[in-house]
Structure 1
Amino acid sequence: MRAFLGMKPLLVLFTVFVLAPVLGRSLNPSLNDDVLGLIVFKADIQDPKGKLATWSEDDDSPCKWDGVKCHPRSNRVIELSLDDFSLSGHIGRGLLQLQSLRKLSLSKNNLTGSLTPNIAHIDNLRALDLSENSFSGPVPEDFFRQCGSLRTISLAKNKISGKIPGSLGSCASLAAIDLSLNQFSGSVPAGIWSLNGIRSLDLSNNLLEGEIPKVIGGLNNLRAVNLGNNRFTGQVPDGIGSCLLLRSIDLSENSFSGNLPQTMQKLSLCSYLNLHQNSFAGEVPEWIGELKSLETLDLSGNRFLGEVPSSIGNLQALKVLNFSANGFTGSLPKSMAYCTSLVALDFSKNSMAGELPAWIFKAGLEEVSLSEKKLSGSANSPVSSSIGNPPQNLQVVDLSLNQFSGEIASDIGVLSSLRSLNLSGNSLIGPIPVTIGELKALDNVDLSENRLSGSIPLEIGGAFSLKELRLETNFLTGKIPTSIGNCSSLTTLIASQNRLTGPVPAAMAKLTNLQNVDLSFNNLTGGLPKQLVNLPNLLSFNISHNNLQGELPAGAFFNTISPSSVSGNPSLCGSAVNKSCPTVLPKPIVLNPNSSSDSTTPGTLSSNLGHRRIILSISALIAIAAAAVIVIGVIAITVLNLRVRSSTTHSPAALALSAGDDFSHSPTTDGNSGKLFMFSGEPDFSTGAHALLNKDCELGRGGFGAVYRTVLRDGRPVAIKKLTVSSLVKSQEEFEREVKKLGKVRHDNLVEIEGYYWTPSLQLIIYEYVSGGSLYKHLHDGAGGNFLSWNDRFNIILGTAKSLAHLHQMNIIHYNIKSSNVLIGSSGEPKVGDFGLARLLPMLDRYVLSSKIQSALGYMAPEFACKTVKITEKCDVYGFGVLVLEVVTGKRPVEYMEDDVVVLCDMVRGALEEGRVEECIDGRLQGNFPAEEAIPVMKLGLICTSQVPSNRPDMAEVVNILELIRCPSEGQEEL
């Protein structure tokens, strides 16, 4: 045996696969067939952890090998289970020797290659599990051509693409199919919907499309169906009500529409129903209360309307209820008090009103989210009313963006399990309760945007698990307590726009996990503790607009701190504020100026020194006179400015920004004064018209106009775009309608529009101010930009893709995607600006438009040059593809060389064809990037820049592809 296997591998394979079938015609099958097959299988893979050490070619039988199970009588291998063995490599043909194999399970390894019918005898298998590997490519159509015995198949969590083979529908014995977390596309083969024995069907997290056919009603044995995160459309057919054994239904994150079919009320065994993020509409029917086995009901992110049906109270087994992000009105039904099993409740982002019911805090709830509604009442009553029976299990409370008033309950300390408390965006008053320090499990507190007063309690240090503390936009006074240094897990401390005084405590230097600090717009004094340079994870530290003084700490983060983060502190010095610190000089020697003794007498002044004293006095007088002249000049200029300002009261620019102008919450339409509208209802600015005229306030210029920075009276900065295409802008009514539409667009990766200003000759759009500068600056401005790691770049690409997908979902085309229109937020997140502006310019055809945004050279889709081709969202996809290549390579879309012009798309495409694509990756990364992510991202960028619009993917597809590219690298160290 050993001598046989000592032959060269090629000879062994020839013997096994060529001679063995011949010998088999005259001899009984040898037990060594299984040994040979498994040894050949082992030879094709890598086993870094030695999990297959027991597999030896010296053995006559493999039945005692790890992962191998044999039939008790025939001693032939019937099961091979190598789950989580850390194996890698390709599956060869060795397993074809296992003639009696019934179960093949190789899950949770890193096996690669494509699937072929030759991996094993599929016709004999009853269970095949290849999940959680790295198989790729399409599954051949004939893979399941002979699968009569197959009962379970799992290919989940691989990289398999293409269509689901139709032959899978011929596997009549199948009871479980799991093809989730791959890249399958197209429609589901009709045969799968006719597999009467199927009990579990999981096709989630793919790119599948089409509708659920009516024949689903024939799946009488179906217990669980998961079609989540695909592209399915249409209505849920009535036939689903015939699947009476259904216990779990997940149709989330698709494009299903219409009403819920009434036949679903028959599904009395259903315990899990997830319809999250679809387009279901209408009212939630009363019959929902008949699904009495429901434990999870998620209807979030749809278009449901009307009131919540009172029959919800019949669902006494319900544990998780999520109706967020719909159009529900009315109040929470009182009958919900009978849902005594509730653990998590989410009704956020609806239009419901009324007071917060007391039963919420008397139930056994662990998570309560009722944000962005119109709930009112006192925040004091819910907790206080439950003191007799405190809700010990409550872990998450989110009542943000409502209309709660009153004080925060002083006995909040009874919520001993509380981890997250969000009361932001209400009208709460009074102090922060000292009992907050008793919440030892608390890791997230957001009390921002209220009217809280008093000081930050010293007891805050008792909440030592705190990771995030947000107190901005309140009326807090007093000092930052030194006890904050006890919160050793703290990563985020935001207390801007308050009235805090005193110094920045040195105890903050103990917070080694600290990443983001914002103490701006307070009255802090003193110098910054030099020990702050020892904070290793600091990403942002904003102390602007205080009264701090002295030298900024030198070293680490503070060597590269943004000037805007320290501005507004006149007495601060250091390189970040472009102000040198005064050197410390020794005290001067003081001599007696009145002495008239002879110069030869020790200790007296000579005549020369006396003369020098007179000269110095004259210099001092001149300095004093000069200062007086300067003061008089300043006063004169101020008077002149006031006169000029008075004479230009009706100038559009002055009306747009002057703090002295009278703007009311209700915008005016007076022809002389123009119309200012702020979506937040805060129209006052702290700077005047000079902000539009002063080059120092200019942030940049683009095809649609120049952008300037100014500051609201509450200290919050905003960016104002002054449109330079006034003669082409729509009428006032149409302009306002379009801007208001754009103002409603909200996404984490989009720059928010906060308001606008209109006169016939001047139009302004007011945006949120993004402090981190443009992506262009970070990529191309050398020392002026910050270095972007691979994770930074990937997150920028993904965030930008999500923002464009969101715009396209709302039928908005960006038209002007480029790196200078992608801004970087304070936490490194991308924010896309300038979206939808072309909607304001109806007179622009594509040629005028392309000239208006000629700065986007290299990003423009080729169809802009063809008058007969329709401009669609695919133009944005093209620009995004160029942006992807720009981010990965660090090169501009078009580079002008001495004798040539290099187009980035062409350069990368050529490098890919020549097999040197890795050379295109930005050299500043210096190999610190995962090639398994970077190269697919570049290939995706090239696909997006296809010359034919129909060959480019949708942005929603792009997001899915990027998330699939990132999945294998989750948990890796940041590069």
Structure 2
Amino acid sequence: MRRLLLFGGLVFILVILGPIFVNGLNPSLNDDVLGLIVFKADVQDPHGKLASWNEEDDSPCNWDGVKCNPRSNRVSELVLDGFSLSGKLGRGLLQLKFLRRLSLAKNNLTGSLSLNLSQLSNLRTVDLSENGLSGPIPIDFFQQCGSLRSLSLAKNKFSGQIPTSLSSCSMLATMNISSNQFSGQLPAEIWSLYGLRSLDLSDNFLEGEIPMGIEGLSALRAINLHKNKFVGEIPDGIGGCMLLRSIDLSENSLSGGLPSSMQKLSFCNDLSLQSNAFTGNIPDWIGEIRSLEALDLSDNTFSGQLPTSIGQLRSLKLLNISTNSFLGVLPESMNGCVNLLVLDISHNSFSGNIPSWVFRLGLQQLIFSENRLVGSMENAFAASTENSRQKLVALDISHNTLSGEIPSAIGYFSSLQILNLSKNSLVAGIPSNIGELKLLDILDLSENQLNGSIPSEIGGVASLDKLILEKNFLTGDIPTSIGDCSMLTYLSLSQNDLTGPVPEAIAKLTYLQYVDLSSNKLTGTLPRELANLGRLLSFNISHNQLQGELPAGAFFNTISPSSVSGNPALCGAPVNRTCPIVLPKPIVLNPNSSDSAPGSIPTNFGHEKKILSISALIAIGAAVVIVVGVIAITVLNLRVRSSASRSAAALTFSGADDFSHSPSTDANSGKLVIFSGDPDFSTGTHALLNKDCELGRGGFGAVYRTVLKDGRSVAIKKLTVSSLVKSQDDFEREVKKLGEARHSNLVTLEGYYWTSSLQLLIYEFVSGGNLYKLLHEESGGNYLSWNERFNIILGTAKSLACLHQMNIIHYNLKSSNILIDGSGEPKLADYGLARLLPMLDRYVLSSKIQSALGYMAPEFACKTVKITEKCDVYGFGVLILEIVTGKRPVEYMEDDVVVLCDMVRGALEEGRVEECLDGRVQGKFPAEEAIPVMKLGLICTSRVPSNRPDMAEVVNILELIRCPSGSQDELG
């Protein structure tokens, strides 16, 4: 409290009594303490960088970031660069009357520049760069800045025009206001700052012409107007700034030619004029600027031939004249540019052969792409020296008309990282010593006339990132050594004549993202190991002769059909061709031989050798299975009906006393358990045998409605799987667990009834019908709105998440098991009934829930894959698509079967996803919700269980997709 009162008093003295205090007393060190403490109060210091600032100190000279004049002991420098401070610039700084340097760069300060720092008459340096300061510069900010030498406001969010009062800063030597949002024209007053050495106005929105008068800045060393909106010509007066070393006028809309006065800039090292609209020839006097080290004229409209005088630029290290309209041949005089490291003449119309001198200069980058160069590369490569070969890092001569072979000398350029010879007319094979280029990142030899095989030595280029050999005449197998290119992310071998299989070694390339092997003659099956390529974005194997099933993996489950088309023997969902099921061999006994091995085909039967075809065997086997199944089901139904009639009769006539809570299970009584309350159940027993009260039938039994004595309706499911249910103890244990599942979106299980021949489940009664009828049987235009559909999806997701949290799997998710209550809320029914079976035999189970066709996860058909909660996730994904599209999971057309998941996935890949929305309410669908929901449905229906999210994650995603509540009423 004492510190708080003391601090409050100090602030009061500073703000209210400051002038009196200063004028009435001798200068005190406390002035600086007070100013800095008030500054500290206006900022946040998350890392405690200002912890040493203590208001009880007599002097701030030992505080972090503070430096004092040793003679006066007054603060002369405040340097808090990179302290992570946030907040605003407070008025406390104005108390530092002897401050010469203020540097607050690389912090998070925000707000406007409200302080008039010109009141600090001793300021020499101000650096507020790399913060979040915004707004216009106050008009009077520069009115009293005669002492200011350096100003940096770079990389903030300042806007508005540059104040003309800037001319008051007559001593300013360095000005950097780059990377802001300044607009308007450049004030001509800026040229009156005769002491200016460096001016950086780049990356703003300044416009108009560059004002005349720049020649007055005789001390100017560097000017940067990069990335603005300047128009017109370069002022001729620029030649008067004869000390200029760096000129950057790039990325504007400047036009015209280069002013002749520029030849006076003999000290200029860096001239960047790229990305403008300059025209005309490069003048001969360019060779007079002997100090030039970097000349960038790219992306303009210069034309004509290069002047021979360019060879006089012996200091030149970078020459970029790309994307212009230059023509002719490169002048031989350029071999005088002995220090040249980067030469880019791409995107022009240069002609002739590749000059031999280019490989003698010791270049690091040689970019000649998209010109009209002709002839062989052999002579130019032969002229290279050992020194030059070791320096070259990038060689791009693509998109010309080169002919002949790729010189074998290419293997000697040991430092090459980029080699692009694509889009020429090169012939013969790929040199085997290409494997000597150990540092190569990109190899592009596409669109030539290369033949022969891909050399196995390619595996020696372990650093290779992109290998592009498409559109050639390459033959033979894809070398297995390609698996040694462990860094490969991009592989394109399409449109060649490659044969043989896709090598399993490709599966070792774990960084692969893009693979194109299309339009070859590849054969065999795809290695299953390809499914392990977790970074794949595209894998095109179309138009080959591949066969068999696609690998089962995250990417291949959703691969585009166009990426696998044109392979008649390939099977799987993407090609809409079912893979043949591998069945065990049928047992065929030879009646003429007692020692025939099971499974063998008789060699002599009826005096004739008869061999059954595979299709005949499958047909016979299927017929036998069907006949046995029909007989078994008939017998089972007769038993169930007989026992159910007896038990129902006993239930109906024995009265309420028979539903005691005792464990008695004799033939004339049963065990009734109600989980909450003890209603009189007897009045509803007539419903068990009354067809008029039947609500529906499913795989596990029929459901009836009955009314209790208290007037409450309940739904009773009479199980018709009595011969399959567990023992009474196991049955009761499982039912009680289901009874513990309580959620507003679950149909509540209220109790059960047990006898050895009859089992009943008692549920709450839900009056609104089921989702299937609302989606597919509703008429009269009373269709579900998007709001209602989304709420059903979200409510169902929450109910499944609740079940999964209790380790209960639904197993039978479908739209007919989503009931709608009187308030429109979804309630999930029939959950967990498979737990009542003695074992989760997936074939028995699938026969019981065969009405859920289209919702069943692929693992139901595979004995080796465990049935988990991810089966429910798959069914839920199908349910999402059904709700959004209004289509059934499987639609049977006249001559086709349409699977909903495949239809939506194909539409998404082709950009037609909005066509899938239910047309009955399409005008009211918010695309920002409906499309992400459909994509979520596709993710949930991944063929690989591990790739599906769990239901808790699904709920979170749906809640993130939900639009703000303000827009929902309109959509309802």
For 2:43, give the aligned amino acid.
Answer: I
Q: Describe the SS at the equivalent of 1:192.
A: helix
Aligned equivalent of 1:544? 542
**Counterpart Cα distance in 1 of 2:959 and 2:148:** 49
Quickly say closer, same or farther: Cα 1:67–1:566, change in 2 above 3 A.
Answer: same
Tell me what 2:323 maps to. 325
Equivalent of 1:521 in 519, 522, 527:
519
Partner residue in 1 for 2:566? 568
| Distance in 2, Cα, partners of 1:105 & 1:824 | 53
- Which residue pairs with 1:381 in the alignment? 379
Give the conservation status (yes or no) of the 8 Å contact 1:303–1:327: yes
Residues 466 and 194 of structure 1, relative CA distance in 2, 3 Å threshold: same
- Contact 1:95 1:120 survives alignment (8 Å): no
Quick one: distance in 1 between partners of 2:210 and 2:593?
A: 111
What secondary structure is seen at the aligned counterpart in 2 of 1:548? strand
2:186 aligned with 1:210, yes or no?
no
Secondary structure of 1:7's counterpart equals helix
- CA offset at residue 928 of structure 1? 11
Deviation string 1:525-578 (CA, Å, 9 cap, x unpaired) is 222222222222211111111111111122312222111111111221122222
* Cα distance change of structure 1 residues 539 and 222 upon mapping to structure 2, 3 Å threshold: same
Question: Please, which of 6, 12, 15 is the counterpart of residue 14 of structure 1?
Answer: 12
**CA distance in structure 2 between the partners assigned to 1:172 and 1:330 by the alignment:** 50
Distance in 1, Cα, partners of 2:89 & 2:506: 56
Provide Cα deviations, 1:202-245, integer angstroms capped at 9, x if missing partner: 11111110111221111111111110111100011211111111
Looking at structure 2, the residues matched to 147 and 928 of structure 1 have their Cα atoms a distance apart, in angstroms, of 54
SS state of the match for residue 395, structure 2?
Answer: strand
Match among 148, 154, 158 for residue 160 of structure 1? 158
Q: Distance in 2 between matches of 1:455 and 1:361?
A: 29
- The answer as to 2:290 corresponding to 1:289 is no
1:178–1:390 Cα change, 3 Å: closer
SS of match in other structure, 2:502: coil
Shift of 1:374: 0.3
Counterpart in the other structure of 2:308:
310
Structure 1 residues 569-578 or 286-295, which shifts more? 569-578
Q: String of CA shifts for 1:603-649, please: whole Å, max 9, x gaps.
A: 999xxx999x99999x98xx9xxxxxxxxxxxxxxxxxxxxxxxxxx
CA distance in 2, matches of 1:149, 1:197: 12
In structure 1, what residue type is equivalent to 2:521? N
Q: Distance in 1 between matches of 2:367 and 2:564?
A: 36
- Normalised by the size of structure 1, how large is the TM-score? 0.61
- Give the distance between the partners of 2:163 and 2:908, measured in 1 at CA: 44
Cα offsets for 1:81-139 (capped at 9, x unmatched): 11122222222222112111111111122222221224684543111111111212222
Q: Structure 1 610/339 Cα, relative in aligned 2: closer, same or farther at 3 Å?
A: same
Partner of 2:418: 420
Runs (5+) with no aligned partner, structure 2? 595-599, 620-879, 883-906, 912-922, 932-955, 963-972
What is the deviation of 1:346? Answer: 0.4
One-letter identity of the residue aligned with 1:487: C
- Letter of the aligned partner of 1:503 in structure 2? P
Q: In 2, are the aligned partners of 1:369 and 1:397 still within 8 Å (CA)?
A: yes
Partner SS, residue 24 of structure 1: helix
Paired letter, 1:539 = L
8 A Cα contact 1:364 1:391, kept in partner = yes
Assess if the C-alpha contact under 8 Å between 1:379 and 1:428 holds in 2: no
Verify the 8 A CA contact 2:450 2:474 in the aligned structure 1. yes
Q: Please state how far the C-alpha of 1:510 moved relative to its aligned partner.
A: 2.1
1:504 to 502, 505, 509: 502
Instruction: Tell me the alpha carbon deviations over residues 723-754 of structure 1, each in whole angstroms, 9 at most, x when there is no partner.
Output: xxxxxxxxxxxxxxxxxxxxxxxxxxxxxxxx
Aligned residues: 636
Cα distance in structure 1, aligned partners of 2:136 and 2:532: 52
Q: Is the 8 A contact 1:477 1:499 kept in 2?
A: yes
- Pairing 1:74–2:75 present: no
Residue identity opposite 2:522 in structure 1: L
Q: Sort the Cα spacing of 1:88 and 1:531 in 2 relative to 1 into closer, same or farther, 3 A.
A: farther
CA separation of 1:551 and 1:55: change in aligned 2, threshold 3 A: same
Following the alignment from structure 1 to structure 2, what is the Cα–Cα distance between the partners of residues 254 and 824? 41
* Alpha-carbon distance in 2 for matches of 1:163, 1:326: 34
Q: How does 1:642-721 map to 2 (within 5 A)?
A: none
| CA deviation map 1:690-739 (0-9, x unaligned) | xxxxxxxxxxxxxxxxxxxxxxxxxxxxxxxxxxxxxxxxxxxxxxxxxx
Query: Retained in 2: the 8 A contact 1:528–1:548?
Result: yes
Two-structure CA RMSD over aligned residues (Å): 3.4
Residue of structure 1 in register with 2:363 after alignment: 365
Query: Which deviates the most, 501-510 or 171-180?
Result: 501-510
User: For residue 506 of structure 1, what is the amino acid of its counterpart?
Assistant: E
2:447 is aligned, of 443, 446, 449, to 449
Query: Which residue number in structure 2 is paired with residue 102 of structure 1?
Result: 100
CA deviation map 1:475-505 (0-9, x unaligned): 1112222222222221111111111122222
Going from structure 1 to structure 2, the CA distance change for 1:398 and 1:925 (only over 3 Å counts) comes to farther
2:226 equivalent in structure 1? 228
Which residue identity lines up with residue 272 of structure 2 in the other structure?
A: N
Q: Secondary structure at the match of 2:231?
A: strand
- Tell me the distance in 2 between the aligned counterparts of 1:558 and 1:891: 25
Aligned residue number for residue 528 of structure 2: 530
Tell me, yes or no, if structure 1 residue 239 matches structure 2 residue 232: no
Aligned pair 1:181/2:179, yes or no? yes
Q: Which residue identity lines up with residue 91 of structure 2 in the other structure? A: R
SS in 1 for 2:491: strand
In 2 relative to 1, CA 227–9 (structure 1 residues): closer, same or farther, beyond 3 Å? same
Instruction: Please state how far the C-alpha of 1:71 moved relative to its aligned partner.
Output: 0.6
Query: Does structure 1 residue 130 correspond to structure 2 residue 128?
Result: yes
On the 8 A contact 2:588/2:601 being kept in 1, the answer is no
Distance 1:382 1:100 in 2: 67
Q: Would the alpha carbon gap of residues 291 and 924 (structure 1) be closer, same or farther in structure 2, given more than 3 Å must change? A: farther
Task: Give the 5 Å matches for 1:951-966.
Answer: none
Percent of pairs with identical residues = 62
Q: What do the CA deviations read for 1:434-456 (whole angstroms, capped 9, x no partner)? A: 22211121111111111111222
- Deviation string 1:118-176 (CA, Å, 9 cap, x unpaired) is 46845431111111112122222222222111111111111222211222232111111
User: Do structure 1's residue 149 and structure 2's residue 128 form an aligned pair?
Assistant: no
CA shift digits 1:268-305 (9 cap, x unpaired): 00110011011111111000000000000011111111
Question: 1:596–1:604: 8 Å Cα contact kept in structure 2?
Answer: no
* CA distance 1:510–1:121, change in 2 (3 Å): farther
Range moving further from structure 2, 70-79 or 567-576: 567-576
Q: How does 1:425-436 map to 2 (within 5 A)?
A: 425-436=423-434
Kept after mapping to 2: 8 A contact 1:236/1:256: yes
SS at match of 1:541: strand
CA distance in 2, matches of 1:44, 1:11: 16
Q: 1:203 to 1:516 in 2, by over 3 A?
A: same
- For 2:482, the aligned partner's letter is I
Contact 1:93 1:119 in 2 (8 A): no
Q: 1:561 to 1:891 in 2, by over 3 A?
A: closer
| Residue matched to 1:23 | 21
The Cα offsets for residues 875-910 of structure 1, whole Å up to 9 and x where unpaired, read as xxxxxxxxxxx99x5689xxxxxxxxxxxxxxxxxx
- The one-letter amino acid paired with 2:219 is N
Conserved 8 A contact 2:222-2:245: yes
Per mean C-alpha deviation after superposition, the further-off stretch among 151-160 and 532-541 is 532-541
Structure 1: segments with no counterpart, 5+ residues: 598-602, 624-781, 785-822, 829-856, 859-885, 893-922, 930-975
Q: Give 1:49's aligned amino acid.
A: H
Structure 1 residues 125, 890: closer, same or farther in 2, change over 3 A?
farther
Q: Which residue of 1 aligns with 2:347?
A: 349
Change (3 A) 1:566 1:31: same
